Copies of this chain bind each other. A is one copy, B any other.
Amino acid sequence: MGRKSEDSKHDKAARSGRKPMGKAEYLEKLAPLELELDTLARWLQHTGRRLVVVIEGRDTAGKGGVISAISHPLNPRMCRVVALPKPNDRERTQWYFQRYVAHLPSAGEIVLFDRSWYNRAGVEPVMGYCTPEQAQAFLKQAPVFEKMLVDEGILLFKYWLTVDQAKQEERFAERLADPLKRWKLSPVDLEARSRYAAYTQARHRMLEATHTKHAPWTLVDFNDQRRGRLALIRHLIDALPEHDVPGTPIDFPPLPGEPLKERFKGPLRPI
């Protein structure tokens, strides 16, 4: 497929030229989605189903932001975020998927992977942290691994957040200029700047090998992070089976007496 037809098909990219969504509009549109996420979580609890959401994408794309948006309205006992540190020396010699398997959900749980086993399809081969053979083997294993989870009834969704380099540069520059954001910049992250095209290539290979019927990828345009978050959450909710569950009616009788005030014994007082 030539460059041109690619671009012409990708009219949605034009979105990045649109005026970014304002905060008020975002919050207004987010509110009903939060309600639906809550319904979804209650449905999982009710049915014992399990949900895994893999969030991947470029640096600065906004992985952390969308994960916060999803987990924020949910009970942290039902929705866990898994952001594994680099493997320790023993883990490095184990079955590659082993340390991820340990975090798969129990009945009723949502697990959000902030980066995932797909490290071995992205940052690792691009930065030279694994051999080409290991990366190749991973691409072969991942669909098989995922098929096992899906066949067992685990709901699995994989999102890859896209962002154009101009936007990425803008965000890097912002982080550099703003002391409040500067902490997000590390020399290592900056390596990604010059390897934008290599990451694109790696993603091509990854999609080719792991965009399967049982565990498809969804690309989400995060040139506008607010629009991206809304689109991703909308997609996730729509992709799940009908998940209504009867609400528990809540009885809220008046207190029997005057509301109490905090009372303190001993020397401690609140700050």
Q: Point out residues on A near B: beta carbons under 8 Å.
A: 1, 3, 6-7, 9-10, 12-13, 31, 34-35, 38, 41-42, 48, 50, 64, 68, 72-73, 76-78, 80-81, 83-86, 88-91, 93-98, 101-102, 104-108, 114, 137, 140-141, 144-145, 147-149, 151-152, 154, 162-166, 168-169, 172-173, 176, 179-180, 182-183, 185-187, 190, 193-194, 196-197, 200, 204, 207-208, 211, 217-221, 231-232, 235, 248, 250-252, 255-256, 259-266, 268-271
Q: A124: shortest Cβ distance to chain B, in Å?
A: 15
Cα-based distance from A85 to B232 in the complex (angstroms):
27
* A137 contacts B114, C-beta separation under 8 Å: no
Sample 19 A-B pairs with CB under 8 A, ordered by A number: A1-B265, A6-B264, A10-B262, A12-B270, A35-B179, A64-B76, A90-B107, A94-B106, A95-B152, A98-B104, A144-B148, A166-B259, A166-B261, A176-B252, A187-B248, A200-B260, A211-B266, A219-B271, A221-B271
Known A76-B83, A261-B164: A98·B96 in contact at CB below 8 Å: no
* A141 contacts B137, C-beta separation under 8 Å: no
Residue of chain B at shortest CB distance from A109? B85
Smallest CB-CB A-B distances: 6 pairs: A93-B107, A38-B183, A76-B83, A165-B259, A221-B270, A166-B259
Q: A254: shortest Cβ distance to chain B, in Å?
A: 9
* B183 contacts A35, C-beta separation under 8 Å: yes
